[in-house]
Structure 1
Amino acid sequence: MSSYQAPKAGSKIIIVGGGCFGLSTALSLATDKSKNYTVVVYDREEIPVRDAASNDISKVVRMDYGDSRLCMELAIDSIDVWNQWNKETQVPIYHNTGMLIFSGASQLCENELHSLKHIRNAGHADWIEELHGDQITERYPYLETAVNNGISAAYYNKIGGWCNSSEAIKHVYKKCKDNGVQFILGKETGNFETLVCKGKSVTGIKTRDGTTHHADRVIMTAGSWTPSLLDMKKQVIATGQIVVHFRPSEKIKQTLKNLPVWFGDFSRAGFYGFPINDDGVMKVALHSTGYLNPRQGDGVSVPRTQSTNDQDTIPLRAVQEFREYLQLFLPITEELDITYSRVCWYADSVDGQFIVAPHPDYDNLIVATGDSGHAMKFLPMIGTRIAQIVENIDNEYSRAWAWRTVQPRAGFYDRPILGDEPNSPTRMVTSAHLRSSKL
Structure 2
Amino acid sequence: MSNQYNNSVRRIQTISTHLSHQNSSDSKVLKSNDHTLYDICVIGGGITGTSTAYQLSKEGYKVLLLEQYKIGHDNGSSHGDGRIIRFSYPEDIYLELAKLAYPLWNDIENESGSKLIQITGGIDFGSHKSQALIDLINAYKKHNIKYQVMEYQEANERFPQFNFQKENLIVYQQDAGVVYATKAVQTIWELAKRFGAVALDDKKVDQIKVESPELVTIQTVDQCIYKSKKVVLSCGGWINEILLRSQLNLQIPVEASQEKVFYWSPKPETKNIDYSQYSNPVSIYYGEVDAFYSLPQIEIPGVKIGYHHSGNALSSMKENKTKVYPPEFVEKIKKFVEKYNPGLDHSKESHSLTCVYTNTSDYHFIIDKHPRHQNVIIASPCSGHGFKFGPAIGKVITQLIKHNKTSLSTFHEFSLSRFNKSTNKRISA
Give the TM interval when normalised to the shorter protein: 0.7 to 0.9
Name the CA shift for 1:388/1:276 in 2 (closer, same or farther; >3 Å).
same
Over 3 Å counting, the alpha-carbon distance change for 1:266 and 1:274 in structure 2 is: farther
> CA, structure 1 residues 159+40, in 2 after alignment: closer, same or farther (shift >3 Å)?
same
Q: 1:266 to 1:42 in 2, by over 3 A?
A: farther
Matched, 1:28 2:55: yes
Any conservation in 1 of the 2:109–2:116 contact (CA below 8 Å)? yes
> C-alpha distance in 2, partners of 1:109/1:157?
17
* Kept after mapping to 2: 8 A contact 1:239/1:303: no
Q: Secondary structure at the match of 1:338?
A: coil
C-alpha displacement of 1:44:
1.3
Cα distance in 2 between the residues matched to 1:303 and 1:154: 40
1:233 aligned partner: 251
User: Shift in Å at residue 39 of structure 1?
Assistant: 0.5
C-alpha separation between the residues in 2 aligned to 1:11 and 1:267? 50
Q: Which residue of 304, 308, 313 corresponds with 2:319?
A: 304
Going from structure 1 to structure 2, the CA distance change for 1:142 and 1:375 (only over 3 Å counts) comes to closer
The letter of the residue matching 1:379 is G
Note closer, same or farther for the CA distance 1:282–1:142 as it changes in structure 2 (3 Å cut).
Answer: closer
Q: Which residue of 1 aligns with 2:377?
A: 366
One-letter amino acid matched to 1:318: F
How far off its partner does 1:92 sit?
2.5
Equivalent residue runs for 1:329-348 within 5 Å: 329-335=340-346, 337-348=348-359
- Report the Cα distance in structure 1 between the residues aligned to 2:134 and 2:269, rounded to whole angstroms: 36
Matches within 5 A, 1:410-429: none
Can you list the C-alpha shifts for 1:141-196, whole angstroms capped at 9, x where unaligned? Answer: 4533x416x4x21111011111111111121111101001102221xxx1011122
| Aligned counterpart in structure 2 of residue 121 of structure 1, from 142, 155, 159 | 142
Q: Does 1:40 align with 2:64?
A: yes
Offset at residue 275 of structure 1 (A)? 1.2
TM-score of the pair, normalised by structure 1: 0.78
Find 1:158's aligned residue among 174, 183, 188: 174
Q: Judging changes above 3 Å, is the alpha-carbon distance between structure 1 residues 72 and 267 closer, same or farther for their aligned structure 2 residues?
A: farther
1:370 deviates by 2.1
Q: CA RMSD in A?
A: 2.8
Structure 1, unmatched stretches of 5+, are: 1-9, 295-300, 413-439
One-letter code aligned to 2:320: T
The size of the alignment, in residue pairs, is 379
Offset of 1:116 from its aligned partner?
2.1
CA–CA separation in structure 1 for the residues paired with 2:107 and 2:211: 43
The match for 1:168 is 184
Q: Contact 2:93–2:411 at 8 Å: present in 1 too?
A: no
For the residue of structure 2 that corresponds to 1:238, the secondary structure is strand
Which AA in structure 2 matches 1:255?
I
User: Which runs of 5 or more structure 2 residues have no equivalent in the other structure?
Assistant: 1-36, 245-249
The answer to whether 1:143 aligns with 2:162 is yes
Are 1:255 and 2:268 counterparts?
Answer: no
Query: Tell me, what secondary structure is at the counterpart of 1:147?
Result: coil
- Which residue number in structure 2 is paired with residue 287 of structure 1? 308
Q: How far off is 1:18 after superposition?
A: 0.5
Shift in CA distance, 213/266, structure 1 to aligned 2, threshold 3 Å: farther
Alignment-mate amino acid for residue 291 of structure 2: G
2:264 and 2:345 in contact (8 A); partners too: no
Report the secondary structure of 2:103's partner residue: helix
Alpha carbons of structure 1 residues 91 and 221: separation in structure 2 relative to 1, 3 Å: closer
Counterpart in 1 of 2:235? 222
Shift in Å at residue 52 of structure 1? 2.5
Say whether the 8 Å CA contact 2:334–2:347 is kept in structure 1: no
TM-score (norm 2): 0.80
Q: How far, CA to CA, are the matches of 1:251 and 1:202 in structure 2? A: 64
Cα distance, 1:283 vs structure 2: 0.9
Q: CA deviation at 1:249?
A: 5.3
1:180 and 2:196 matched: yes
Q: Are residues 1:277 and 2:295 paired?
A: no
- Residues 369-389 of structure 1, C-alpha deviation per residue, up to 9 Å, x if partnerless? 221111111123210101122
The verdict on how the C-alpha distance between 1:142 and 1:177 changes in structure 2, with shifts beyond 3 A counting, is: closer
